[in-house]
Amino acid sequence: MGDLRSAWEDEAEPWIAWARTPGHDQWFWRWNWPAFAPLLGPPGARTLDLGCGEGRCGRLLAEQGHRVTGVDGSPTLVRHAREAGGYDEVLLADLGALPLADASFDRVCAFMSLHDVDDLDAALREVHRVLAPGGSLGVAIYHPDRSAAMGQGDPAKAHRWSMTAEHAGLTMTFHSMHRPLAMVEAALGEAGLALTELREPAPPEDLGPEPLFLHLVATR
């Protein structure tokens, strides 16, 4: 099994179709993003879209007045994010080694990306480094209660999982890392980020009875 960065490069084209087909990803449009976006707060000087993928979050943030820089580890996704616009720039980089200056952002958006990095500790150290004092990090991840059941590992320990989903004629294999909430909280604290909010957004009745996502806010 290769690293997560390589796995997402392999799935880049299916993910672009999944994310950009109109009306397809109702979990994003009707549930996850509407509950998450207000946690980022108003636009500030600069916003970093960490693990930007094909760029839909950056485009939405730009529409709201954010000046957005994107970064992702997949060359294919970076190319598509650049072509679609909305960003000041989009960089190809490992999330644990960002080519960005210290204290250069006052917002970091990590929307459904931190469970897709192999080294969470390194990524959060970099978030702390590039955030200005008082800056905030908004995180959306798969709810650990759900991701615990998506692999064969011990729910109390980190483990890889993959899931192939089929919906409305499209197929996508998701590759991620389960981490228990206590591990995520500890990693934030060790990076110097203080957890200030934790929310479990309730789903629309037709999309499922239980929380699928977990939203966090941390400050530097």
Tell me the pLDDT of the chain (220 aa) as tens digits: 579 999 999 999 999 999 999 999 999 999 999 999 999 999 988 999 999 999 999 999 999 999 999 999 999 999 999 999 999 999 999 999 999 999 999 999 999 999 999 999 999 999 999 999 999 999 999 999 989 888 777 889 999 999 999 999 999 999 999 999 999 999 999 999 999 999 999 988 887 778 899 999 999 9
State the total domains in the chain: 1
- pLDDT the model gives residue 188: 98
Given a contact cutoff of 8 angstroms between Cβ atoms, the answer to whether 90 and 28 are in contact is no
Asked whether the whole model's pTM tops 0.75, one would answer yes
- pLDDT the model gives residue 113: 98
What's the domain range around 157? 4-219
Given a contact cutoff of 8 angstroms between Cβ atoms, the answer to whether 49 and 67 are in contact is no
Rounded distance between C-alpha atoms, residue 191 and residue 121, angstroms: 7
- pLDDT the model gives residue 119: 97
- pLDDT the model gives residue 1: 58
Given a contact cutoff of 8 angstroms between Cβ atoms, the answer to whether 192 and 220 are in contact is yes
Amino acid at 20: R
Residue 167 CB-half CA count within 13 A: 18
- pLDDT the model gives residue 50: 98
Residue 184's CATH number: 3.40.50.150
